[in-house]
Structure formats: C-alpha cells, structure tokens
Amino acid sequence: MSYYDIDDIIADSQKIPCQFNITVPGLGYLEGNPGKSIKQNTKIELPFWLAEILAISTILNNDESFINLIDPDFISTKIINAIKSDSNSIDLHKIISHYYVSIEKWCKLFNDVELIENSMHLLKQRSFEINNFANNVNKSVGSDFIYTLDEFEKKLYKDSCESNKLMKKWLK
Amino acid sequence: MVLPSNLIGNLTPNELSFLTENEMITILPRYSMNKIDLIGTSIPKLRAMRREKVPLWVALILKSQSKCNIVPPDWLNHQYLKDKYDEEIRKANQFSALPFNWLEITKIFLDNASDDLQDSTDEIRSIIQDLKEIRLVKSRRGLKELNESNIQLNGLGMMEINEIRTFVIPVMNKLRQLHDTTVKEEEAESDEDEMSE
C-alpha cells in the first residue's frame, strides 16, 4: 500500500459500525451532540482508520478496549453465501467499492482465514471472467457484469483491455 | 509518473518487436561491403553470395535496399509449423517448444521479407494464426489455476507472456496480499513462541 494510493485512502475512510465499551467525555460530536459525552454501548459508525486504533488499543488498568467492532455488511453471512454460490453475479461495487482492500484490512485485524479463502476464491472466479470480457475489445460490452466490478477489478479490466488493444494493433 | 500506469513495468508489442531486431540472422548479400565496427556489435565484411550472420535490423535495412536476401530460420516454414501445431493438439497440457520470439520474427518476415520465405505468405499466416490461437486457449485455461505463489510459463514466447502479463501480475499480487494477511499473523505468533522459548 502506497502512501499516495488514493484507493487505499478511500478504503481507509470507509465507515464501519462499532459500539463504545465505555463512556467517553467530549466525544459527543461523533454522533452529532457537540460538547456532550458519548455514552457506553452507543452504536456508531466510525471510519476504519479510527475504529482500528480504538479497537486494538486497551484502556489503562483494564483489559477492555474503547470500542467493539460489529461485523460490517460486506462480511455478513448473506454475502459470503452469495459468493459461494455464484461469484460472478454479485454486485461488488454496490456492496462496497473497495471490497478487496477492505477485506484485507479487516483480516489483518481479525486473522479470519475462512473469509480470506472466500475472497481469494471470489477474485479467481471474477478475474477469469474479467479477462474474458477484456479480450472482447471490438464489440461493445452489453453485460451488466462490468458495472458490478470493484475499484481494483475496474483497473484490472481497463489495463487488460488496453494491452489487448495494443496487441491487436500490432498483429494487423 | 508521466508514463501511463499500464505501461510501467510492461512493454508494448512494438517495443518487443524492436528488441527482437537485435537477433542474429543469416543473410545472403548481393553486394560486397566492408566490415563496420559499431559500439554494440560489429557487422562482418560482406561478400556477394557468401552467407553471413548479421543483426536482424541490419538485414532489414539491406533488404529494403534490395541488397540482400534474408535466409529464414529453420523453423519458419509451413511444414515445421504444421508439425508444431499437431504437437500442440496432441499434448493438450503443454506448449510445444518454439523459439522465444517466434511471433515477432514471423511478423517481421511477413512484413518485410515475404519473398524470401519458402512457402506462400498466406500459408504461413494461417498456420501462425492457428498456432497462436491454440496456445492462447491453453494459456487462458491456465489462468483459471492462478494462485498467490507461482505461475508456470514453460514454452511460452516473449510476446505471449507479455500478452497475459498486464492481467496476471495484478491478480497474483492481490491474491498474495490477501493471502499474506493471515499467514503473517501465524508466522508472527510462531516467532513469538520461539522468542519466549
């Protein structure tokens, strides 16, 4: 991940749901109450970069951390089952526009082997399909599949299209 | 930064073709010419009707001035390529051995020295097309087996590798990054265990 990678920055600011374990004074502005404190057990959506650090750092003399992370939508069982049944018909872009980066960040925290295997399977299936579409440079693509790609897949599709075009041009 | 991102770390077919022009090739000069010493290579003294090996780009210049005939490589004829094509069909799971830059050389010959080929251009063109297609189908099939650690490219030519490179590298990188997120934890844990012991 590069410091200047705009996709990484966007993925980092993706909001995920979390729950506060303790009452924190002065943090009320997070839920729209400036000047007030944030209560224990408040559920709130925080950007990933903030949630991550709050979830792993522990409070002094206490085993608890500031917040608990609640499983976000993109790793819900519904979506995992959808991936298992048919990877190519999922609208990844609708679920989360930076799916793979988010999964990566999530699994770095929780070391979820099953989830990683699932998303690797997803990537393999979909990249094969992307390659098929990218080879078809002359005809316009009439499939909705292209609109369901996440940002990484979009770039992959664009680059392979470009290289196939160059190859076709050279072969002429 | 100025270079478009899809060209960074990647060569265009034209660039590969340019690189191939450094290959040595046998020519049959029609005129005599003195030896020329260049920085990279030296062009030997040419005598009329005496076979000599020169870089392909020199051969092409001489050819365009009708000062030589280029002798096609052993493999560049219809019979040999046909045999290779049959071999491709027979061995469904591997690529037949062709020169590393067979596509580039064939293309250069077809464009610039088609009169030096033994067989008609159409025949060569069609067999090359067939070969290319069957090999492409095979490499496509191989893409299904992509994983995070390695890819085997035995027997593939430079152009064919370049063709799939823009696709394979990002996918394998992403797979590796995804894979690493869990592996690293385990390794870190085992490292800690070792430290504590």
B1-71: CATH number: 3.40.5.50
Task: Answer yes or no: do B167 and A167 touch at CB < 8 A.
Answer: no
B148 close to A97: Cβ distance less than 8 angstroms = no
- Residue B30 structure tokens: 């029609």
Nearest to B149 by CA among A81, A13, A109, A120: A120
- The pLDDT assigned to B193 comes to 55
3-state secondary structure of B42: strand
What single string gives the DSSP state of each residue in A61-97? T-S-BSEEEPPPGGGSHHHHHHHHH-GGG--HHHH-T
A150 close to A98: Cβ distance less than 8 angstroms = yes
Q: Which residues on A lie below 8 Å from B137 (Cβ)?
A: none
What is the C-alpha to C-alpha distance for residues B10 and A69, in angstroms, rounded to an integer? 41
Taking all residues of chain A, what is their mean pLDDT, rounded to a whole number? 84
Candidates B182, B189, B190: best to mutate against A (most CBs of A within 10 A) is B182
What is the C-alpha to C-alpha distance for residues B1 and B15, in angstroms, rounded to an integer? 19
Using CA coordinates, name the residue in chain B closest to A162: B6
Tens-digit pLDDT profile for residues A50-67: 888 888 887 777 777 888
Tell me: pLDDT of A108 over 70: yes
Domain with CATH 3.40.5.50 in chain B: 1-71
A131 touches chain B (CB under 8 A): yes
Task: Answer yes or no: do B143 and A169 touch at CB < 8 A.
Answer: no
A112 close to B182: Cβ distance less than 8 angstroms = yes
Q: Which residues contact B27 (CB under 8 A, 6 or more apart)?
A: B51, B52, B53, B54, B59, B62, B63, B68, B69, B70, B71
A125 touches chain B (CB under 8 A): no
Q: Which residues contact B29 (CB under 8 A, 6 or more apart)?
A: B46, B47, B48, B49, B50, B52, B62, B67, B68
Dihedral sign for Cα atoms in the order A161, B177, B138, B164: positive
Classify domain B73-192 at the CATH topology level: Methane Monooxygenase Hydroxylase; Chain G, domain 1 (1.20.58)
Task: Answer yes or no: do A123 and B174 touch at CB < 8 A.
Answer: yes
DSSP run (H or E) holding A19:
strand A15-20
What single string gives the DSSP state of each residue in A114-172? HHHHHHHHHHHHHHHHHHHHHT--SSPP--GGGGG--HHHHHHHHHHHHHHHHHHHHH-
A21 close to A65: Cβ distance less than 8 angstroms = yes
Q: Would you list which residues of chain B are within 8 Å, Cβ to Cβ, of chain A? A: 5-6, 10, 12-14, 17, 107, 140, 143-144, 146, 148, 159, 162-163, 165-167, 170-171, 174-175, 177-179, 181-182, 185-186
Domain with CATH 1.20.58.1020 in chain B: 73-192
Tell me: pLDDT of B189 over 80: no
- Residue B133 CA: distances (Å) to CA of A138, A170, B127, B130: 17, 16, 10, 5
- The pLDDT assigned to A139 comes to 61
A72-172: CATH number: 1.20.58.2050
Helices B102-112/B13-20 angle, 10° precision: 80
Nearest to B166 by CA among A159, A131, A128: A159
ipTM, interface predicted TM-score of the complex: 0.84
- The pLDDT assigned to B59 comes to 93
Tell me: pLDDT of B26 over 90: yes
Tens-digit pLDDT profile for residues B55-106: 999 999 999 999 999 999 998 888 999 999 999 999 888 888 888 889 999 9
Mean pLDDT of B28-35: 91
Strands across the sheet containing A43-47: A43-47, A15-20, A67-69
Taking all residues of chain B, what is their mean pLDDT, rounded to a whole number? 86
Assess whether the region A1-70 and the region A72-172 belong to the same CATH fold: yes
Q: Which of B5, B17, B146 sits opposite A124 (nearest CB)?
A: B146
End-to-end CA distance of chain A: 39
Domains of chain A, by residue range, sit at 1-70, 72-172
Task: With cut-offs at 50, 70 and 90, classify the pLDDT of residue A141.
Answer: low
Residue B165's identity, in one-letter code, is R
Candidates B107, B144, B181: best to mutate against A (most CBs of A within 10 A) is B181
Nearest to B147 by CA among A99, A120, A104: A120
Dihedral sign for Cα atoms in the order B64, B69, B73, B76: positive
- Residue B112 structure tokens: 């610039």
- Residue A22 structure tokens: 């303790």
Mention the CATH class of domain A1-70. Answer: mainly alpha
Percent of chain B with pLDDT over 70: 92
Task: Answer yes or no: do A158 and B6 touch at CB < 8 A.
Answer: yes
Nearest-5° Cα angle at B57, B56 to B61 = 115
Chain B closest CA to A95's CA: distance in Å?
Answer: 18
